[in-house]
Chains A and B, each alone.
Chain A
């Protein structure tokens, strides 16, 4: 298989990338890791007229803490995230998720920004970022804006990005000392997309829950934020009853469909079980 014809440019600055996007509009597509876009092009589900390869732009791959945020460059490969000591120590929900994404060869290419821009409801990073309350920095040739990931992900394979825009980095609020998280994913085999996966992040304050973030993978038309469950937990004591109720609310918020990976009913039940387990694990980490 091979794609239909396209033109190819590989600029070496963000400014050039943005100028090219401004000129070509929706004829052009950014090529990041290519691990979603190239398969789609080979199947001719996507036929962009121009590929703008951003892999030659220096400085788009990094993981660092500055001020209030963990900053992750859009082109940071999943392998780098999997091996990051910073994520292992401070961002367990990210450290859990990274090694569960695709397989080692695909992780060597696939990027966090590409995953968010692809907006696959079965993609893992979207749910993780929803749980953490993360934002994306978006640039165009004329503008720069920062929006929450919840406003980026609109629908299946649909984001609020304009064709002239590019994600440049992801900003995750720094996790305080008394916080913890987990990503639980059910997959049929290595490299498979999730049957169901759940991202949980908890912050404690004097023994009560200050903030709870819950994201759900592969159980709706996009990565879902379980807002009712989050609200029920905020300010509550982290008791078994509170977790049970939050898990029930999260399952209620999910709308999976039946497919080869399982029935809708089964997936809903798994959301409940995973959110419950994920909260337990997050609490254990938060208590240190």
Chain B
């Protein structure tokens, strides 16, 4: 099946079986290996990407479902050779050790900061609760997100209320 989608702002296409998972399409077909496969069972969040702005586990979504969508992976965070504030903060605050969970953590955190430019520690821990880290104990991850928060220039209105 042919699909066309935007990945990190670029038009990409593929001709794939419906059973191809989005994570395998991103890593295998597009060669973007920043998104990781941790558990492969919808539990860890290492495979997190933004699908039309919302963080999802790409091991639990078929690539055909993303046809026509906008995907952002960790490779899309850096702009014009500059680290995104969230990347800079993870580096500065030692928000990573092995780095396996980090792409997912940063994408989930980036979406939180878009929704809520000044999250409390609880807000941050809540938003990241689907992303598991084996290494850091989370303290520095939370610090990094806090540090990135004021660096976001445009405050955006909080959450969508149904």
Q: Which residues of A contact B (CB under 8 A)?
A: 1-8, 10, 31, 34-35, 38-39, 41-42, 51, 53, 55, 62-63, 76, 79-81, 83-87, 102-106, 108-109, 190-191
Complex interface: chain A residues within 8 A of B159 (CB)? 83
| Interface flag for B160 (CB, 8 Å) | yes
Among candidates B18, B42, B54, B126, residue contacting A35 with C-beta atoms closer than 8 Å: B42
Which label, helix, strand, loop or mixed, suits the secondary structure of the B interface? Answer: loop
With both chains docked as a complex, state the minimum distance between the C-beta of A86 and any C-beta of chain B, in angstroms.
7
Alpha-carbon separation in the docked complex, A80 to B54 (Å):
12
Complex interface: chain A residues within 8 A of B57 (CB)? 105-106, 109
With both chains docked as a complex, state the minimum distance between the C-beta of B25 and any C-beta of chain A, in angstroms.
11
- CB-based nearest A residue for B61: A34
Alpha-carbon separation in the docked complex, A45 to B127 (Å):
31
Alpha-carbon separation in the docked complex, A1 to B40 (Å):
7
Complex interface: chain A residues within 8 A of B161 (CB)? 83-85
- CB-based nearest B residue for A38: B60
A102-B130, A109-B60 provided; 8 other pairs, C-beta below 8 A?
A4-B19, A7-B18, A35-B60, A39-B41, A53-B65, A80-B162, A83-B161, A103-B129
With both chains docked as a complex, state the minimum distance between the C-beta of A53 and any C-beta of chain B, in angstroms.
6
Contacts between chains A and B (CB distance < 8 A), count: 96
Alpha-carbon separation in the docked complex, A10 to B18 (Å):
11
| Interface flag for B45 (CB, 8 Å) | yes
Asked if A55 meets B65 with Cβ closer than 8 Å, knowing A104-B126, A106-B130, the reply is yes
21 A-B pairs in the complex with CB atoms less than 8 angstroms apart:
A1-B40, A1-B41, A2-B19, A2-B20, A2-B24, A5-B17, A5-B19, A6-B19, A8-B1, A39-B42, A39-B60, A42-B21, A51-B62, A83-B159, A84-B161, A86-B162, A87-B162, A104-B108, A106-B130, A108-B54, A109-B61
Q: Mark B107-124, 1 if CB is under 8 A from A, else 0.
A: 010000000000000000
Among candidates B54, B129, B160, residue contacting A191 with C-beta atoms closer than 8 Å: B129
**Closest 5 pairs between A and B when the two form their complex, measured CB to CB:** A103-B130, A8-B18, A105-B130, A84-B162, A190-B129
Alpha-carbon separation in the docked complex, A76 to B160 (Å):
13
